[in-house]
Chains A and B, each alone.
Chain A
Amino acid sequence: MAYLDHAATTPMLPEAIEAMTAQFARAGNASSLHAAGRRARRTVEEARETLAAALGARPSEVVFTSGGTEADNLAVKGLYWSRRAADPARTRVLASPVEHHAVLDAVDWLGEHEGATVEYLPVDTYGRVRPEALREAIERDPDSVALATVMWANNEIGTILPVPELAAVAAEFGVPTHSDAVQAFGQTELDFGTSGLAAMTVSGHKIGGPYGIGALLLGREHSPVPVLHGGGQERHVRSGTLDVPAIAAFAVAGELAARRRADFARDIGALRDELVEAVRAAVPDAVLGGDPEHRLPANAHFSFPGCEGDSLLLLLDAQGIECSTGSACTAGVAQPSHVLLATGSDPELARGTLRFSLGHTTTRADIEAVAKVIGPAVDRARSAGLS
């Protein structure tokens, strides 16, 4: 088996599994005042410090959530509500059109139900938002902007967006910026403190931590209106009993992701380049998606003219190669990728995409396996055509 779908989820690191299982048998609600509670609280706070250090943030800026989706929703909806509450004129939401659905659908929901005017920022053919484009959008009416949200790196095509530059532009106008950095964590340098961001989303299971845990890095001057109301555990912006084992394991994975990032990026980038060369050699007309320069080192995204991505997926799966078409699924039914459509890709071409995402378990043998079968698979998928 060649597992090349690490952007969907990556296996847990042994160190994270160890940290997690060590917590399972221990009792203790981090909000309790007795000894067991204090012990749990200490684990949580140490994890918070570890993650903060890994991401260039202050510990108090780490708000644990149930994952990336919740963190995105909290940032986008919460900041919209709090900014609008402070000034009812602030109803414009500026977003990149290549966002993950956790942002995209939250933003659209604000448009449909909360009176927001959603404006999608123009992107180039690589999916990058230019700082001047954001400036133009804000300058049209600076006082009406509630927030801007632009992902750090795209989950499908791997393009890295110029987030600190964008955040700097927004900051000139006092507009808070949120960035979904779920895919970027561990692959490119993230420093929340110098990013200029108001909020940044990270997730556990994309970096070798467990599922069901994530965090919103949240500048201390920002108080988004909560999405989840309850016990007020996390700075009163996020309620819910803290998941101590998951938090402990997330912190271990996060620390390793930051510490190993440079080596990982270099090594995995070299393997990725081999994969790209191998695919191009086998299928000369394959189109590499995303920015060739500003891209995640573990991502390779291709469009294969005349192919249905679903067909390719089936054929590669039968050969033991696990990858993704890269686009969102509804009841398992492939939809044309909004990311590719936003970058101006031909809709026909956008149907034949594959995303290979490498990770900490990837070896050269995995790349060789793809090199061996990709040519015949594309030939066969082409004969099945676009149905």
Chain B
Amino acid sequence: MTENSQRPLRVLAAMSGGVDSAVAAARAAEAGHDVTGVHLALSANPQSFRTGARGCCTIEDSRDARRAADVIGIPFYVWDLAERFREDVVEDFVAEYEAGRTPNPCLRCNEKIKFAALLDKALALGFDAVCTGHYATIVTGPDGARELHRASDMAKDQSYVLGVLDERQLAHAMFPLGDTLTTKDEIRAEAERRGLAVAKKPDSHDICFIADGDTQGFLANRLGKAEGDIVDESGTKVGSHDGAYGFTVGQRKGLRIGHPAADGKPRYVLDISPVDNTVTVGPAASLDVTALTAVKPRWCGTAPTGPGAYTAQLRAHGGETAVTAELRDDTLHVRFAEPVRGVAPGQAIVLYDATRVVGSATIATTERRTRAQALAG
């Protein structure tokens, strides 16, 4: 059973000014819910204008959302959560990079802003649920508990960035787009049919608070230049860098290493050590991760007991991979059935049981195949 068939609820629809959240709000209203639209002002500079598909919370987005709300026929407000967003998302993003990790700010925003700051205020004001344009499905399980599942259309599924939601947050979440097997073109057509002017608006990309898309420039501006060494696995210096935070595990391009590797093969970032400001590079085979530990787990329901078999997703647009996972002392220990590449500390691992989101945790350490194993394998 999906939320659409439930009794009418008082719903607060988060409206970014984009097409997905507008259609989501329209569907919630059409389903008979009492919907109020809210645009979150998250930018430190709400007077800015859009540049193509980039930027967020611009004055145009706010106006687009306001117009959409009027077409849908719902009240609309702008709530300023810029200060909370700065503290919980932007500063966390910078601190994570500074610590040599690779964060996903969208997860943090869902966890701390949309389904915390916004949800708490909504509940206090008498609303029952927060509605967003995410592609994910909420299913009421056999025991009556709410479960988060992948969207019907796996190609659009966004359950990964919602994997941080706990049971309470989920109990008050509504995703009207998740249970439809519609393409993005069809969502746009639906918006058009509903008279929503945002139907043709380009999708937003990248990180909303880095308007020009230049993450390295943003970090360099925030963290300053910090020159250090690039070394190979034996510790030999092979190059230098302007700041270890500018690298991501698995990165190949932009290393600017002068002389080639002994075997002539491309080299990848294997490790980032903020303590000695060193970036370690090596061959692709050394990227193979066989196991990891992850901290700060969050469960969409009860925490699993004992080791279990799951599928895992490691990136917003990554594939699934088979794992066994066990929770010990609040740390998640994960072993991969097949080695995986491009696993960076700071990223979230989201565990699934078939389509159901079990929970998520932040990757802390990875275990690589030894060189001997890699060569043998």
Q: Give A residues with C-beta under 8 Å from B.
A: 310-311, 313-315, 317-318, 330-334, 380-381, 383-385, 387
Contacts and interface: CB of A to CB of B under 8 A. Distances in A.
A319 B331 CA distance: 49
Nearest to B63: A331
The 3 closest A-B pairs by CB, nearest first: A332-B78, A384-B124, A333-B80
Contact of B79 (A310, A380, A385): A310
Nearest to A385: B124
Contact of B125 (A314, A332, A333, A334): A314
Contacts of B32: none
Contact of B75 (A310, A318, A385): A318
Q: Which of A310, A315, A331, A385 has the most CB of B within 10 A?
A: A331
Given A314-B75, A318-B36, A387-B81, A333 B121 contact: no
Contacts of B62: 331-332
Contact of B121 (A317, A318, A330, A387): A387
* B: interface residue count bin: 20 to 34
Nearest to A381: B125
Interface string B61-88: 0100010000000010111110010000
A380 B124 contact: yes
Contact of A380 (B80, B117, B125): B125
B301 interface: no
A95 to B, nearest CB: 24
Which secondary structure dominates where chain A touches chain B? helix
B39 A332 contact: yes
Nearest to B39: A332
A333 B46 contact: yes
Nearest to B79: A310
B41 interface: yes
B125 A384 contact: yes
Interface string B96-130: 00000000000000000000010011001110000
A333 B36 contact: no
Contacts of B75: 314, 317-318
B59 interface: yes
Given A318-B36, A387-B84, A333 B78 contact: yes
Nearest to A318: B75
B373 interface: no
B125 A311 contact: yes
B132 to A, nearest CB: 19
Given A331-B46, A332-B62, A384 B121 contact: yes
A242 B55 CA distance: 41
18 contacts: A310-B79, A314-B125, A330-B47, A331-B41, A331-B47, A331-B59, A331-B78, A332-B39, A332-B41, A332-B77, A333-B41, A333-B78, A381-B125, A383-B124, A384-B121, A387-B81, A387-B120, A387-B121
Contacts of A380: 124-126
Nearest to B80: A333
Contacts of A381: 125
Interface string B9-51: 0000000000000000000000000001001010000110000
Nearest to A308: B121
B124 A334 contact: no
A310 B75 CA distance: 13
Given A310-B77, A314-B75, A317-B75, A330 B125 contact: no
